[in-house]
Amino acid sequence: MTRVAFIGLGNMGSGMAANQAKAGREVVAFDLSADAMARAKEQGMSPAASAADAVKDANVVITMLPAGQHVRDVYLEAILPNAPKDALLVDCSTIDVDSARTVARDASMQGFRTADAPVSGGTAAATGGTLTFMVGCREQDFAEVEEALKPMAKAIIRAGDSGTGQAAKICNNMLLGISMIATSEAFALAEALGVDAQKFFDISSKASGQCWSMTSYCPWPGPVPAAPSNRDYEGGFASAMMLKDLKLAQDAADTVGTPTPLGGAAEALYGELVRGGYANRDFSIILQMLRGTLQLNRE
Ligand code: NAD
């Protein structure tokens, strides 16, 4: 039986690890949070005393951690010194491209096979096993990576070698942040010019302005019933997470010297929203900031 060590059982990781267990794999789980560990036990996983303990007999090690520093620390202190050298190491967190390439290089120098495999889809897809994975790994390792990710996935796409999964993820999310702002600006202007929001949706969703932010995740409440705008922007994808991804994109753009003026503007606007007190609300609430209906904390 495949033994999976799963480290990081937060909003995303808990559902993902549970799907590994449901697929009949033996899951040894670790998180710093006692609540997360108790939940893992209820879901049929074996709790480990530490990350080092979790990986020691693993065939596959999956990490789902907040940011680059956490991934670097866990790899350096727990995984590389303790995992069997034939274990496949897959990091699914969204982190900076440099950290992804650094941990992959350090691991491969010790003989491990690695992949960066960040996800698109949010907590509902994590629980439902319908995430999209963007993978950076050697071509010859991809079939094994696919097999490891299958119980959690709707789609698994190899972007290229190490770091390209993260690169694709942050480019995608930069596009999403910009398109959500663009959609919100259009709704706000249409309103100010006297066009009913539903009418604007009916027209633009069938015209050349159509995009995912409008037709699947409309920031204006009403036209898309499942969108967080209908739940007072609760749940969904937090503005703080969007800001994190936009910062990663800007840092990466600086590193390679590619101009991303709209990405920079999107980072500034989400920075204002997050500092203003809306870090935990869904990122489509930016519509309300642009309409001037939010009370922003200016301290
Ligand atoms: P989260 O904060 O809910 O979970 C992270 C977990 O990691 C926490 O439970 C924390 O206790 C644990 N952790 C931190 N340091 C640790 C350590 N040293 N050892 C063991 N456990 C440790 O975050 P999340 O929402 O699950 O997101 C995880 C990653 O997925 C992030 O990189 C995020 O950007 C990305 N992501 C999130 C979403 C989303 O909708 N939440 C969507 C796509 C991608």
Q: What is the pLDDT of residue 212?
A: 95
In this prediction, what percent of the chain has a pLDDT beyond 90?
Answer: 96
Residue 299 confidence (pLDDT) above 80: no
Q: What is the pLDDT of residue 235?
A: 83
Q: What is the pLDDT of residues 107-127, one digit of tens each?
A: 999 999 999 999 998 888 999
93 CA to middle of ligand 1, Å? 7
Q: What is the pLDDT of residue 133?
A: 98
Query: Is 30 a pocket residue for ligand 1 (Cβ < 6 Å)?
Result: yes
31 CA to middle of ligand 1, Å? 10
Per CATH, which fold does 3-161 belong to? Rossmann fold (3.40.50)
Helix/strand/coil (H, E, C) string of the chain?
A: CCEEEEECCCCCHHHHHHHHHHCCCEEEEECCCHHHHHHHHHCCCEECCCHHHHHCCCCEEEECCCCHHHHHHHHHHHHHHHCCCCCEEEECCCCCHHHHHHHHHHHHHCCCEEEECCEECHHHHHHHCCEEEEEECCHHHHHHHHHHHHHHEEEEEEEECCCHHHHHHHHHHHHHHHHHHHHHHHHHHHHHCCCCHHHHHHHHCCCCCCCHHHHCCCCCCCCCCCCHHHHCCCCCCEHHHHHHHHHHHHHHHHHHCCCCHHHHHHHHHHHHHHHHHHCCCEHHHHHHHHHCCCCCCCC
Nearest CA to ligand 1 atom 42: 122
Per CATH, which fold does 168-291 belong to? N-(1-d-carboxylethyl)-l-norvaline Dehydrogenase; domain 2 (1.10.1040)
Q: What is the pLDDT of residue 123?
A: 85
This prediction's pTM: 0.93
Do domains 3-161 and 168-291 share one topology? The answer is no
Query: Is 241 a pocket residue for ligand 1 (Cβ < 6 Å)?
Result: yes
Q: Which of 7, 31, 172 most suits a substitution to test ligand 1, by most atoms within 8 Å of the C-beta?
A: 31
Look over the chain and give the mean of its residue pLDDT values, rounded to a whole number.
97
Indicate which atom in ligand 1 lies nearest the CA of residue 9.
9
Q: What is the pLDDT of residues 170-228, one digit of tens each?
A: 999 999 999 999 999 999 999 999 999 999 999 999 999 999 999 999 999 999 999 99
The full set of domain ranges for the chain reads: 3-161, 168-291
Q: Which of 241, 242, 245, 247 most suits a substitution to test ligand 1, by most atoms within 8 Å of the C-beta?
A: 241
Q: Is residue 169 annotated as part of the catalytic site, yes or no?
A: yes
